[in-house]
Amino acid sequence: MGISVLGPTFEDLAANVHKNISDISYIFIGRAAGYIGGSLIGGILFELMNPHILLGISILLTAFGMYAIPFCKQALLLAGIMSFVGMSMGALDTGKASRELNASVYQKMKLLSEF
């Protein structure tokens, strides 16, 4: 849901920061760059720290960022918060995929060890 919320609210966000839609299209780039950075940093952190705590923190940061977006009155602040949300979503998706992969490999190894 966090990824798809920008499209339907794009006109309202543009009106909120008193800009044209074409003038704030860079918030898509900010979110994508944040997502890539969050995926990279999240991958490293999930190897070093407790993944359950990091998943919880990522969810909370995403929620706080999504809550703050409608209150942005400046375009650069909006782009910054969108980049922050992208980072937390990138880390969240990377951690989720890592946990699913680990669970899948563990189950297959458990099945193989029974034979």
The pLDDT value recorded for residue 37 is: 96
- Reported pTM: 0.81
Residues with Cβ within 8 Å of 96's Cβ and at least 6 positions away in sequence, in order, are 55
Contact 10, 21 (CB under 8 A): yes
The pLDDT value recorded for residue 30 is: 92
* Identity of the residue numbered 83: S
How many whole angstroms from its chain centre is CA 89? 1
Listed as ranges, residues in the chain with pLDDT below 70 are: 1-3, 102-115
